[in-house]
Chain A
Amino acid sequence: MMKKIGVFLMLFILVAIILLPGCDDENTLYVYNWGDYMDKSVIKQFEEEYGVKVKYQTYTTNEDMYVKINSGSAKYDIIFPSEYMLHRMAQEGLLQSINLNNIPNFALIDDIFKNAEYDPGNVYSVPYLWGTVGILYNKSMVNETVDSWDILWDKKYEKKILMVDSQRDSIGVALKRLGYSMNSTLEKEIDEAKESLIEQKPLVLAYVVDEARDKMINNEAALAVVWSGEAILAMAENDDLAYAYPKEGSNIWYDCVAIPATSTKKDLAEKFINFLCRTDIAYLNAEYTGYSSPQMEVVEQLDEELRNNPTAYPSNEIISNCEVFKYIGDFVEYYNKAWIEITAN
């Protein structure tokens, strides 16, 4: 009996070793993306068209991803940093330049998204998706107009508010509410924002990132700070939900595709980036994630309703009232500290 089990075990191990899909071969592309930020069929299609394998993994915030890449503990070939993180990583030499000649589909990206302040000349990045931050609320629980961040500090909604478990976003909301810039580098302003978030804490149900959508769909909370795509997907499933831009202004962000410096498969990575910019693929991703596409043909193909939906494609007036996060250098330490104080309190 024992012998049989032993033989069986040995066989299994042999088979396991032979089949080990973890072996790093030249034809495997390691993609590190935000949770739920790409249609899975896109990956399958890329694998089939190019005869390669894609290993796909997800992160929850820019900071998570940054630490993983910076520590050198993990080698990825494709990442999706937001603009301020991209700026930081480029400055710290964590990215390699992209040869735009290998990305013919780059021409399909709307010019207003190119050559941005965070990456002049698109040396390191190609735009992927963009969106805003706003308040998703449940009309059956909130009977007033939502037009200000102040509502998140309203005692009426005690334990019915979901905040974002991401330091730049949550501190940014508090800064905007106080009338400051989301990119403030004044200790006094950060301290004030920190205090107001600590003061708000008893009202907050939870600090979440990806759970917010599910919670809002199931009427578990009245108000949530969410990214626009989450709002679109949630609103499609629950008619009581609505999305509002606070009058104090909000955050507009651009997520990009980039290649970490440690990647040894630049060619394949560039093929992947080009693939992501292809109209049919970019369309699939825009539809799946609910976020707004910088790709012109995609926007044209979208159905009328979504294209005119101010949540996804806000008016210029709203956009001009939104701020883009900027890389704030070493001052980020101060944000880190403030954030830990808020969560630990």
Chain B
Amino acid sequence: MSKSLKKAYLWLIILFLYAPILVLMVLSFNDSRSRATWGGFTFRWYIELFKDRDILLALYYTLAIGLLSSVIATIIGTFAAIGIFGYKKLSYSLVKNISYIPVINADIVTGVSLMLMFVFLGINQGFFTLLLAHITFNIPYIIFSVLPKLHQMDIHVYEAALDLGANPFMSIIKVVIPEIRPGIITGFLLAFTLSIDDFVISFFTSGPGVTNLSIEIYSMARRGINPKINALSTLMFVVVMALLLIVNKRSASNTEKKVRRDI
């Protein structure tokens, strides 16, 4: 097949992936509630969006839960990975497999099982349970990002630090962590994005007065099409784009640094 044909196919797929989002972006500036007609250019929906207390609160919860859960999960998960790394074969694969369950299980099953447990323990659902649920499904991603880095690491460095008289904890902080840092950062970013994107698990584990953006969008979408959601989509798309460009630049310069160091 010729190269231009391949290229055309790729662009067709990209068009398929972007067209719906672009349409929403255009409609977010449409000064008519109806989707069928163009009523002129407006920023009205953006203004209404920023006046909507529920959406802003949901945004706040989304970010707060995203940051808190990914930071806590990163701490617990990193240490867990270091610990698991030292396990004997049997317990190693047992713990690894159990940790794998939330990754592979259907979200609805994870969500429902956590809900059952919160009810069973008589914990009131709300911010706290939402946070616990997010930490729970985030930790495995950290572990599975960090473990490969531990395998790649030169264990002798750690042993050397011990021989030189550093205490075990300090040597882990000073020697091991820097070695596995790329894995930790990858895991953290992954956890954060999964947390802010989650709907199903949050749907079952949040409680009175606590919603995240996904839940809010779901309940808005069930009330019909709302131009405010279009405005929200546009903003989120722009933010995601900007963030990715920044991260991409950063990782590009990181690779450069790494290459230079390797030389």
Q: Do chains A and B touch in the complex (CB under 8 A)?
A: yes
Interface of A with B (CB < 8 Å)? 2, 9, 12-13, 16-17, 20-22, 24, 28, 30, 32, 35-36, 40, 55-58, 60, 71-76, 208-211, 213-215, 217-218
Contacts of B209 in A (CB 8 A): 22, 28, 30, 55-57
- Measured between alpha carbons, how far is A213 from B223 in the docked complex, in Å? 8
Contacts of B126 in A (CB 8 A): 22, 24, 74
Question: Of B36, B124, B128, B223, which one neighbours A35 at CB under 8 angstroms?
Answer: B223
Q: How many A-B residue pairs have CB under 8 A?
A: 77
Contacts of B67 in A (CB 8 A): 9, 12-13, 16
Question: Of B54, B115, B223, which one neighbours A211 at CB under 8 angstroms?
Answer: B223
Q: A16-B68, A71-B119 are known contacts. Are A55 and B208 too (CB-CB below 8 A)?
A: yes
The answer to whether A73 and B222 touch across the interface, beta carbons within 8 angstroms, is no
Contacts of A72 in B (CB 8 A): 119, 122
The answer to whether A214 and B223 touch across the interface, beta carbons within 8 angstroms, is yes
Contacts of A28 in B (CB 8 A): 209
The answer to whether A22 and B36 touch across the interface, beta carbons within 8 angstroms, is no
Contacts of A40 in B (CB 8 A): 53
- Measured between alpha carbons, how far is A56 from B210 in the docked complex, in Å? 9
Nearest-neighbour CB distance to chain B for A64, whole angstroms, equals: 11
Known: A21-B57, A58-B219, A215-B224. 13 other contacts (CB 8 A): A9-B71, A22-B127, A22-B128, A36-B223, A60-B222, A73-B115, A73-B125, A75-B208, A76-B208, A208-B222, A211-B224, A214-B225, A217-B33
- Measured between alpha carbons, how far is A217 from B64 in the docked complex, in Å? 37
The answer to whether B64 and A20 touch across the interface, beta carbons within 8 angstroms, is yes
Contacts of A213 in B (CB 8 A): 224
Nearest-neighbour CB distance to chain B for A75, whole angstroms, equals: 5
Listed residue (B36, B125, B224) with the most chain A CB atoms within 10 angstroms of its CB: B224
Contacts of B210 in A (CB 8 A): 22
- Measured between alpha carbons, how far is A36 from B209 in the docked complex, in Å? 15
Contacts of A214 in B (CB 8 A): 223-225
Nearest-neighbour CB distance to chain A for B130, whole angstroms, equals: 9
- Measured between alpha carbons, how far is A76 from B60 in the docked complex, in Å? 22
- Measured between alpha carbons, how far is A210 from B115 in the docked complex, in Å? 26
Q: A32-B208, A35-B223, A40-B53 are known contacts. Are A75 and B124 too (CB-CB below 8 A)?
A: yes
Nearest-neighbour CB distance to chain A for B37, whole angstroms, equals: 10
**Minimal Cβ-Cβ distance residue in B for A216:** B224
Nearest-neighbour CB distance to chain A for B158, whole angstroms, equals: 20
Q: Is B118 close to A, CB under 8 A?
A: yes
Nearest-neighbour CB distance to chain A for B261, whole angstroms, equals: 16
Contacts of B174 in A (CB 8 A): none
Nearest-neighbour CB distance to chain A for B169, whole angstroms, equals: 18
**Minimal Cβ-Cβ distance residue in A for B74:** A9
